[in-house]
Amino acid sequence: MPKVKLVIAGAGSRGRGYARYVANHPDDAQVVGVAEPIDLRRNEVATAHNIPTEHVFTDWKDMAAADKFADAVIIATQDAMHTAPALAFAKKRYHILLEKPMAPTARECKRIVAAVKKAHVIFGVCHVLRYTRYTQMLKEIVDSGAVGEIISMDLLEPVGYWHQGHSFVRGHWRNETESSSMLLAKSCHDLDWIRYVMGKRCKSVSSFGSLKHFRKAMRPEGAAERCLDCKVEPTCPYSAKKIYLGRVAQGHTGWPVGTLVDGEVTAESVTEALRTGPYGRCVYACDNDVVDHQVVNMLFENDATATFTMTAFNRARSRETRIFGTKGELFGDGSLIRHFDFLTDETTETDTRASAGDITGGHGGGDYGLMHSFIEAVATDDPGKILSGPDETLETHLMVFAAEKARRKNRVVDL
């Protein structure tokens, strides 16, 4: 295949991660441009990929305004900043890999899909869960008819107590105005996954959820504004000292600790970040407003049903799935799939484990699968390599928006 030339718009943790995939597969692709306002991140990508100065930008607008100099763009800006670059790069006829979610509103999602279809460019959204070995093997079992017709499905996303505190209380996705709803930011993955495995369109949804715990009314007596100054901190499971400095003491300097500082991660640099930055705040004294637990109920066109549960209050672990069919049932935990056959009363276990080190193995290998498929799609001009193209991705985003409408209005919403 010809080598694919890529540019990166947004060199945060995801953008730099995708760039590292390219560094590990130099025969398949090359990063030839980067746009990122933070000097350290921009320079890291530029240096690692020997990008010429004229193709290094502080603003994606300048990169999009330049004459087209690559085959495709990876857009990894913050959630609320996806629409404008997607429209601009589609107009320049760049093939596009867009971080999920597409955009924070249904109207913007529809604009993006219309633009990429008009431009006839290959378009993929980073629904990495579709690309894992686990998902592909589970879907193969379902499609083989081993469980018969799916009657109901149950998917649990155990976000994890510290992950909720890091990303959705103290972090970038804590506030809907600055980002999007919790269901869109964290769990559009999951509704998309349910639709993919179910293989049917969703007809209607209902949903319940709220911000139950991480709010001022739940603040322990005597708690300070920051964990470093707090007398009750040693008894708090959400302590920033425990979550971040505890990891540094154990030698863990990647995510989530690496989010706190640009540069070398040390006990001193992390302590300073906790003293002055957003990640050192008490979880009961932040400006967060996204839910910390939510359920979504779905009815599909063949009258099959699905439930999705997102909760912060658990040990962080992989998603868990139960699929109930007319001939058998499946249980999966992201690694193992157990199939119980009604005819034989026997259970078969399939081990799908894959490495999950850096982003090339992250999400159970889904990040690797996504990048491999996108690059191959661009190199061969075959959009069929993309498992999450524009139409179905729009469909599953509309499921999310409908579920949020149902939760807020306390009613069933038809799609």
DSSP string for residues in 20-76 = HHHHH-TTTEEEEEEE-SSHHHHHHHHHHTT--GGGEESSHHHHHHSPP-SSEEEE-
Q: Which of 379, 380, 383, 318 is nearest to 354 (CA)?
A: 318
Question: Cα separations (Å) of 379 from 4, 70, 128?
Answer: 6, 12, 20
352-366 pLDDT, tens digit per residue, is 985 444 444 455 667
User: Which pLDDT score, from 0 to 100, does residue 364 have?
Assistant: 60
Q: What φ, ψ does residue 184 adopt, rounded to 5°?
A: -75, -45
DSSP string for residues in 368-403 = HHHHHHHHHHHHHT-GGG-SS-HHHHHHHHHHHHHH
Which ranges of the chain have pLDDT less than 50? 355-361
Token pair of 40 as six digits? 């350290």
User: Which pLDDT score, from 0 to 100, does residue 356 have?
Assistant: 43
**Domain 4-121: assigned CATH number:** 3.40.50.720
Instruction: Answer positive or negative: Cα dihedral of 222, 228, 234, 237.
Output: positive
Domain layout of the chain by residue ranges: 4-121, 130-214+288-354+386-414, 228-280
CA distance 323 to 305: 10
Q: What is the CA radius of gyration of the chain?
A: 22
* Domain over 130-214+288-354+386-414 is classified CATH 3.30.360.10: yes
4-121 shares its CATH topology with 130-214+288-354+386-414: no
The count of residues in the chain is 415
DSSP string for residues in 310-377 = EESSS-----EEEEEESSEEEEE-SSEEEEEETTTTEEEEEE-----SSTTTTGGGHHHHHHHHHHHH
User: Which pLDDT score, from 0 to 100, does residue 157 have?
Assistant: 97
